Amino acid sequence: MSQKGKIKKVLLFAAVVGLTAVLGACGQKGKSSAGKEEIKTSVKKKETTSTSTSQEVKKEVENDKQEVTPVSTEKPKEEVVQRTKEMEDFIFLMKNAQAIYDKTYEMWNGVFEIGSQTVGIPEEKIAKTGYSQEEVEIFITTYHLYSSNLTNNKLGKKWLVENYGEREINGESLLNQLWNGDFAPLKAEVQTYFEQYKPVNPEESGGNTAELNRFYRVLQMSKEMEVKRVELMGEVTNSGKQTAGISDEKVEKTGFTREQLEKVLTALQVYDDLRKNDVGKKWLSEQIEDLSISGEKLREKVLNGRISGRAEGMVKYL
């Protein structure tokens, strides 16, 4: 073979080998690209599936939300009890029960025993009120002290107006609502007033009753005593001057007018004068059993207003 022929064969072989190498490289690149494409396609499919699932869950949640009945967070409103005038009066009396008792006790110098107001009232009727028998007793006693002892007394009325203002209480309607149980819803509100209520123990104030009895008796016998005093010792030296130096305010506190107070204090002095005289004392002891209570002590009670509540009823003896 000629030299030219050998060169052509070598070139042709090299060309074939080169072409094969190029084609192989292209094929490998194609496979690599195809692989990447498959991965991309796979990832896209996965993302699509995830998105689809998320949308389905979202729809289910939204559907669940629509099906749930909304629950109100507001607290249930408590039933409001419409208060009557009598309910307000009930609270007023119990709130001021102790002050009413103390003022009445001061003016009447006496004990108002707790226990007599509910005597004979059936247990069923008391139970219907929503209060115990003792509590009902306290309330009714307070009402009577307020409406009778204080309201119907000049000084008592003045004290009420100064401290609480003008107030009209319908007693009949008030007690009717008590027995109907209308005040039962107020128990929690007034319970403290019942617990704080402290009346005077009758055993601790027995002397007050004795003093009052003596005072009444002295006034009842005032004219007779004065006659006996003149008979034994002559005229009362300071008659007509008993209230000299006593202010108008202090006179008013006694419950008597100045003229009435003059007579009261004169009677008490005559009583003491007779107690200090042997003949007078003997005569007096026949009229009054116990002479241990002095006229001076009763005078202090009068001037301190401790008998002022009874003054109006005593005027008839002067």
Distance (Å) of CA 314 to CA 5, 49, 143, 276, 299: 171, 109, 24, 25, 15
Tokens read off for 114: 């707790």
pLDDT at 286 over 70: yes
Q: Which amino acid, residue 192?
A: T
Q: When comparing pLDDT for 161 and 208, which is higher?
A: 161
- pLDDT-derived band at 75 (thresholds 50, 70, 90) equals low
For the chain, the domains span 85-200, 206-317
Neighbours of 263 (CB within 10 A): 20
Specify the pLDDT at position 266.
95
pLDDT at 2 over 60: no
Specify the pLDDT at position 139.
98
Average confidence (pLDDT) over 261-281:
95
Specify the pLDDT at position 206.
62
Q: How far apart are CA 173 and CA 182, in angstroms?
A: 11
Judged by phi (left if over 0) then psi (alpha if -120 to 50, else beta), residue 2 lies in beta
pLDDT at 223 over 50: yes
Angle at 265 between CA 260 and CA 269, to 5 degrees: 150
pLDDT at 71 over 90: no
The beta strand positions in 29-164, using DSSP E, are none
pLDDT tens per residue across span 117-164: 999 999 999 999 999 999 999 999 999 999 999 999 999 999 999 999
pLDDT at 4 over 60: no
pLDDT at 16 over 70: no
Q: Which amino acid, residue 139?
A: F
Distance (Å) of CA 127 to CA 84, 88, 93, 164, 179: 21, 21, 20, 31, 9
Average confidence (pLDDT) over 68-75:
54
Specify the pLDDT at position 115.
79
Q: What is the mean pLDDT of the chain?
A: 81
Q: Which amino acid, residue 195?
A: E
Tokens read off for 16: 């074939």
Tokens read off for 199: 């009346």
Q: Which amino acid, residue 14?
A: A
Query: With contact defined as beta carbons under 8 Å apart, do 236 and 138 qualify?
Result: no
Specify the pLDDT at position 9.
45
Q: When comparing pLDDT for 60 and 257, which is higher?
A: 257
pLDDT at 182 over 80: yes
